[in-house]
Each structure stands twice: as C-alpha cells, then as structure tokens.
Chain A
C-alpha cells in the first residue's frame, strides 16, 4: 500500500503576546518608538534585567509531529481546543508553511477548512457554485459536469438564480457544502464543518462524507463529535498542546481522549473567601465528578455510571441538614433537584450530623443523560429553617453519548434525558 501522507518531525511556531497585539499592524509610529527604545533595552540587557522577550513571544502550535497515512484510509484527529488540529490541517493544505520538519503528500489535497469561503453575497447561487468550485481547485468542465448533482444535493432548486445574500443560513450552508463535497481530490481534509448547521444539515454532511470515505479516498477528519469520528474513521490520532500523544484504532483513541487526565476541570474547590460567614458551621470543601473508574473527569460517557461527590466539613453538629444538587442544561433549563436525605432511610440515619468531615456521594446512573453540556448548582440547607450555603453554578461537565442506544443515526435528539428504554418488536400474523 502506498503512503498518501507522510509527516516527519513537523513543527509550527507562531508569534504571540505583546509582539503580536501591540505591533500587529506595525505602524510606522510603533517602529519609530521601538527604535528609540532600543538603547534602553540594550542597557537593560547589559544590566541583566532584559525581559527575555524571545521566550515569551513564541508558541509552538505543533511540536514534533510524525505519522504516516496509507492511501484509502480514513484518519480521525481529535483533541481539545487549541491542541493544534486546525494548524495541522492548514499545513497539510499548504495554507501555511511549517517551521520545521517535512510533509510529503502524494496526490491532490482538497481542503474543507471552512464552508462557504469565496462565496460572494451579490452573486447568484449558480455563479457562486462556479466561483467556489474554481477556488477549491475544480476546472470549469468539472464544475459543469457536477452542477446538477450539486444543486440537487443542496436542495436549493428554484433559488439557484437569486443572489446568495437572500438565502437563509441553512440554504447558504447547504449550497456551500454541496460544492465542497463534490471535490474529488485524492486526499480530503475536513475540519469540523459539521459544527455548523442544523440537525438535517449535519445528517447530510455525514452521509456524504461516508460516501467519500467508501470511494476509497484518503480522508483526514477533525471533529469534536465523537460519534461522527467513531462512524467514519478507522484510526484516530489524539493531539494535545501541539503534540501527537496517541495513535490507535478509533474506539481506543476516543476512549483515551475522553478519559485521559483532562482533569483540570471536573472538580470545584471553594476557597475561604468564597464561603460567606453565614454558612457556619457548614463549610464546603470541594465538588467532584468522577467516572466509573474513580477518575476525576469533566466529560462522562452516558453509557457509563458516574459519581458526584461533595466533600464538606461541619464545625458543629447540625440537625435537619440536607445537601442538594440542581442540574441545569447550559441554556439554564432545570433538569432535576436531588437531596442527599431524599431517601427515607438516609433521612432517619442522618437526621443529626455530628461535627467532622463528610462526603455525600450521588451515583448517576448510566443511560440517563443526553449529550450536551450541563452544570450543577449546590445548596446546603435545613428545610424551612436556614440556608447555609449555595452556589448556583458550581460545576459544569459534558456528556458524550458515543455508543449509546440510537447513535447509529447521527442525529440530534432534544431533551436532557436519554434513557435506555426497552422496546419489544413483535410481528403479528
């Protein structure tokens, strides 16, 4: 099998910080001021007080990346925001040049880094198809050949001769994607284009990308949508802070990405000045979200159970204390409220809590949440008597539904709950 893409020790450095923002447009005035201050800087350097701007002003967006990709394979690229995924695609698309290393590419590269680049609002849909196709590298003969297919795919039909500025955002996206999707390069590079558009659009995009993959082209696919990655790719690489930290068959790589020490969040600790004096004798310590293995995470898989634990301290015995948690969606809608003494047995046993350190753990069942982002609010109170402590936005987390029932269709389902319900299908006669 021939290698389509070979990346060796790839590095890309960007200039950031003071140098970037202050001198971004490099006004002559700034250059002059800079020149005037040069002797000052020289003196400072001699005295040993130089501000070492060399280190502060550069960031390596990509650090020593090496991998090979065979022809016909579909590779997923995952990583947190800022990991370097888009930069890698830009280098592969020759939009930007590497600082170090070498990339060998065999075949034409078609890039879908953004949908609708080159569209001009004054031109009609028809004219924009030709324009966009030409920009993406298609010859006009090729565009003509595929014109009807593209129009059909975009479902824009009768509006094809109206200026694009009159289109709805959905039509615009569909048309833009239609053109880009009919690129037929040997290597296709796609960057999170599924992040925009409604559910219908996403479904279409995924379908088309699947077709492209089936046709035997080499595809590189960057996405935050783990379901899409799992569906379309065979192998995936995980990038973190510019480095390639894992390459594995997709399920393994996705698992690694979701659970690998992304534990900077997933825990909320309250410092002394965040706790009002009125909360005495109750003192919250920390709130943690843990996955099934006990790791502190900020993303849980809906197919696995999770635990929320709240650690706190009582400086004096308290009667009637109850610790509550409110779950909200990111849009602020309430999902549920739960208290640690909701259960009658707990209520009896912990009617009075003696002084000391405690933890209240809540077990979140598997197959409960729908995908999305949620946040917990917490509250420690004594019903009808006093509210000791409250934090309305204590901890946020993400739910990933890869592998959940129904994810064989890449569609967005509404609602915060996605329970696993049992269906029985029976043929009657």
Chain B
C-alpha cells in the first residue's frame, strides 16, 4: 500500500491569458526529467530494429564528407585555408548535423506528438527541446569520428579549444533551438513548413560555409552573409578546432547576435502561441 506523498498544495489559476506570456521556466524545471526521458526515448527508438544501429549516426556525415571531398575538394578544388578537405568539411558537418535535426525533427515535434499535446498537460517547450538534445547524441558520436580524422591528418587544435569549443557548441545549440522553436510553432497552424523543409534544408546548406570556406565570399557581402546564424557557428567551430579563419570578427559577432535573437524571440513566440496548440493542431 503506497502512502500518498506529503505535499503542500499550491493554487493554480486557470484563466484566459492576456499579453505576452511569461516564460514560465519554473514549470520547465519541474518537468526536467521528462526532457531526459524523451531524449532517451527518441534515441532508443531511432535505432531500434535496425541492423546497423548507432552506426547510422556516423554513416551520414561520413558519406556526405566523402561526396563533398570528391566534388568540392578534388573536382572543384575549393580553397580550404590550407587544411585537408575531409577534415575541413567534416568540422562543418558536425554542427550542421545538429542543425538539420532541429530543422527536421524539431519543427515536426509538436505535430508528431499531437495526441500528447491534446490530452496531457506539460510544458510544450519540452518537445522541440528534446528533439534538439537528441541530436546532441548523434553529434557526440560524430565528434569521435572527427577526432579520429584530425589525428589521421595530423591537425592539432590550439590550447584554447578547451573553452572555445564548448562555447561554440553552446552557440550551435542556441541556434538550433531558436530555429526549432519558431518552426515547430508555425508548423502547428501553417503546415507549409513541412513542405518547405526539404528545400529549406538544401538551400541553407549551401548558404552555410560547410562545403566551402566563407573567405570565398567577397568583403562587401560578408555582413549580409553573416546574417546566417549557422555561418557564425560553423566558422567558430573551424576556428576553435582547426585554427582556420579569422576568429571572432564582426561577422562572427553578427551571426552570434542573430542566433541569440532567434532563441529569445522564438521562446516568446512559442509561449504566446502555446495556448492555441491543443485547439489548432
């Protein structure tokens, strides 16, 4: 016979909300375990009943890197600031992979879980958040491959990678989350997002310096180019791991600012639309 846990009841007021919805981070903290559970579930389910299992997390970036190496490295011979092309492109593919997860799984997360959204109360932020965090698991696996590649090509990072890399990883997460929040909220009402995604993903890939170095962009376009938050993330990764590029310059700061803006505005937009999710999904 289980004893009901002693709990001092708090009073909640349920009424139509007006104005900008508060972020309600305390509620999110109460449900922190659910985030972990959902990440664990997404990861587990992704590779269940597959032959290759976790190997798939490696195959995709490696295959892409091989194709890029052939097309852009050997055939087109794009400049890579003196770094062997495989390492160069793989470093870009790492944060890009996380971003793709946010674009695809993150933006669909609300709609995919519509039965939960319409029947149970929980902070809906958890859904896009756990999609992005599940992407981190794949990131970690691919990172091991990158480490192997760097060893093979004898590319060593500078000492400050200890703190610069986590910083840029954080920036990558911020960007991914910001985009996931915006897209998932919009997708609930306007399913165009689903249709636009394949095109958007491809376009964004070419707008980001994954396959090429952003030094090929002429100076007058650099600022416009840096409006792409992923440009800053990828360049940041390259600088901290490989020492290539200019390091923190204006372009990088602009990109980072856009990322942070995306996240904050995404949070507010998501929260203000949250009350309509159960009705419109």
- Report which A residues bind B (CB closer than 8 A): 14, 25-28, 90-109, 111, 113-114, 117-118, 120, 122-123, 127, 130-131, 134-137, 139-140, 142, 145-146, 149, 163, 182, 184, 186, 215, 217
Whether B33 and A134, one on each chain, are in contact in the complex, defined by CB atoms closer than 8 angstroms, is yes
Among B5, B44, B120, which residue has its beta carbon within 8 angstroms of that of A93?
B120
Whether B14 and A186, one on each chain, are in contact in the complex, defined by CB atoms closer than 8 angstroms, is no
Tell whether B45 is near chain A: CB-to-CB under 8 Å.
Answer: yes
Whether B9 and A186, one on each chain, are in contact in the complex, defined by CB atoms closer than 8 angstroms, is yes
Closest to A101 in B: B15
Which chain B residues border A101 with CB–CB below 8 Å? 15
Mark interface residues in B108-125 (1 if CB within 8 Å of A CB, else 0).
000000011111111000
Given contacts A105-B11, A107-B7, 4 further A-B contacts (CB under 8 A): A104-B11, A117-B120, A122-B44, A134-B33
Whether B5 and A142, one on each chain, are in contact in the complex, defined by CB atoms closer than 8 angstroms, is yes
Whether A103 and B15, one on each chain, are in contact in the complex, defined by CB atoms closer than 8 angstroms, is yes
Which chain B residues border A104 with CB–CB below 8 Å? 11-14
Which chain B residues border A122 with CB–CB below 8 Å? 44-45, 48-49
The 8 closest A-B pairs by CB, nearest first: A107-B9, A103-B14, A102-B15, A97-B275, A94-B121, A96-B278, A134-B37, A25-B191
Whether A97 and B189, one on each chain, are in contact in the complex, defined by CB atoms closer than 8 angstroms, is no
Whether B115 and A114, one on each chain, are in contact in the complex, defined by CB atoms closer than 8 angstroms, is yes
Question: In whole angstroms, what is the CA distance A163 to B45 when docked?
Answer: 11
Which chain B residues border A91 with CB–CB below 8 Å? 14
Mark interface residues in B163-196 (1 if CB within 8 Å of A CB, else 0).
0000000000000000000000000011110000
B238 to chain A, nearest CB (A): 37
Tell whether B279 is near chain A: CB-to-CB under 8 Å.
Answer: yes
Tell whether B17 is near chain A: CB-to-CB under 8 Å.
Answer: yes
B277 to chain A, nearest CB (A): 9
Mark interface residues in B17-41 (1 if CB within 8 Å of A CB, else 0).
1000000000000010110010001
Whether B5 and A131, one on each chain, are in contact in the complex, defined by CB atoms closer than 8 angstroms, is no
Closest to B13 in A: A104
Tell whether B16 is near chain A: CB-to-CB under 8 Å.
Answer: yes
Tell whether B4 is near chain A: CB-to-CB under 8 Å.
Answer: yes
Closest to B126 in A: A135
Question: In whole angstroms, what is the CA distance A98 to B146 when docked?
Answer: 51
Whether B121 and A105, one on each chain, are in contact in the complex, defined by CB atoms closer than 8 angstroms, is no
B123 to chain A, nearest CB (A): 10
Question: In whole angstroms, what is the CA distance A142 to B4 when docked?
Answer: 11
Question: In whole angstroms, what is the CA distance A98 to B116 when docked?
Answer: 19
Question: In whole angstroms, what is the CA distance A107 to B12 when docked?
Answer: 8
Whether A184 and B5, one on each chain, are in contact in the complex, defined by CB atoms closer than 8 angstroms, is yes
Tell whether B160 is near chain A: CB-to-CB under 8 Å.
Answer: no
Whether A145 and B2, one on each chain, are in contact in the complex, defined by CB atoms closer than 8 angstroms, is yes
How many interface residues does chain B have, given as a range? 35 or more
A161 to chain B, nearest CB (A): 13
Question: In whole angstroms, what is the CA distance A252 to B189 when docked?
Answer: 44
Among A27, A106, A113, A140, which residue has its beta carbon within 8 angstroms of that of B120?
A113
What are 25 inter-chain pairs, A to B, with CB distance below 8 A?
Answer: A25-B192, A26-B191, A27-B190, A28-B190, A91-B14, A94-B121, A97-B17, A99-B16, A101-B15, A104-B13, A104-B14, A105-B11, A107-B10, A114-B115, A117-B116, A117-B119, A118-B115, A122-B45, A131-B41, A135-B120, A136-B120, A142-B5, A145-B2, A146-B2, A217-B4
Whether A113 and B44, one on each chain, are in contact in the complex, defined by CB atoms closer than 8 angstroms, is no
* Contact (A123, B44) CB under 8 Å given A28-B192, A106-B9: yes
* Contact (A26, B5) CB under 8 Å given A114-B119, A117-B120: no
Closest to B9 in A: A107
Which chain A residues border B11 with CB–CB below 8 Å? 104-106
* Contact (A90, B120) CB under 8 Å given A25-B190, A149-B2: no
B169 to chain A, nearest CB (A): 27
Question: In whole angstroms, what is the CA distance A184 to B2 when docked?
Answer: 10
Question: In whole angstroms, what is the CA distance A105 to B14 when docked?
Answer: 8
Question: In whole angstroms, what is the CA distance A106 to B7 when docked?
Answer: 11
Question: In whole angstroms, what is the CA distance A103 to B15 when docked?
Answer: 6
Question: In whole angstroms, what is the CA distance A156 to B31 when docked?
Answer: 28
Closest to A118 in B: B116
A321 to chain B, nearest CB (A): 57
Closest to B47 in A: A122
Which chain A residues border B118 with CB–CB below 8 Å? 90, 95
Question: In whole angstroms, what is the CA distance A99 to B10 when docked?
Answer: 23
Which chain A residues border B117 with CB–CB below 8 Å? 95
Which chain B residues border A113 with CB–CB below 8 Å? 119-120
Which chain B residues border A134 with CB–CB below 8 Å? 33-34, 37
Question: In whole angstroms, what is the CA distance A329 to B49 when docked?
Answer: 46
Closest to B2 in A: A146
Residue in B7, B10, B121, B189 whose Cβ sees the most chain A Cβ within 10 Å: B121
Whether A140 and B33, one on each chain, are in contact in the complex, defined by CB atoms closer than 8 angstroms, is yes
Whether B119 and A120, one on each chain, are in contact in the complex, defined by CB atoms closer than 8 angstroms, is no
Interface hits, B118-172 → A, CB 8 Å? 118-122
Which chain A residues border B5 with CB–CB below 8 Å? 142, 184
Whether B190 and A26, one on each chain, are in contact in the complex, defined by CB atoms closer than 8 angstroms, is yes
Which chain A residues border B49 with CB–CB below 8 Å? 122
Whether A123 and B279, one on each chain, are in contact in the complex, defined by CB atoms closer than 8 angstroms, is no
Question: In whole angstroms, what is the CA distance A214 to B279 when docked?
Answer: 35
Question: In whole angstroms, what is the CA distance A113 to B117 when docked?
Answer: 12
Among B14, B15, B17, B33, which residue has its beta carbon within 8 angstroms of that of A139?
B33
B21 to chain A, nearest CB (A): 10
Question: In whole angstroms, what is the CA distance A182 to B3 when docked?
Answer: 11
Among A26, A27, A95, A163, which residue has its beta carbon within 8 angstroms of that of B119?
A95
B100 to chain A, nearest CB (A): 22
* Contact (A90, B278) CB under 8 Å given A97-B16, A111-B120: yes
Which chain A residues border B189 with CB–CB below 8 Å? 25-26
Which chain A residues border B34 with CB–CB below 8 Å? 134-135
Question: In whole angstroms, what is the CA distance A113 to B120 when docked?
Answer: 8
Which chain B residues border A182 with CB–CB below 8 Å? 2
B201 to chain A, nearest CB (A): 19
A95 to chain B, nearest CB (A): 5
Question: In whole angstroms, what is the CA distance A149 to B2 when docked?
Answer: 9
Question: In whole angstroms, what is the CA distance A327 to B45 when docked?
Answer: 52
A2 to chain B, nearest CB (A): 9
Which chain B residues border A99 with CB–CB below 8 Å? 16
* Contact (A120, B45) CB under 8 Å given A25-B190, A146-B2: yes
Whether B41 and A123, one on each chain, are in contact in the complex, defined by CB atoms closer than 8 angstroms, is yes
Question: In whole angstroms, what is the CA distance A291 to B275 when docked?
Answer: 46
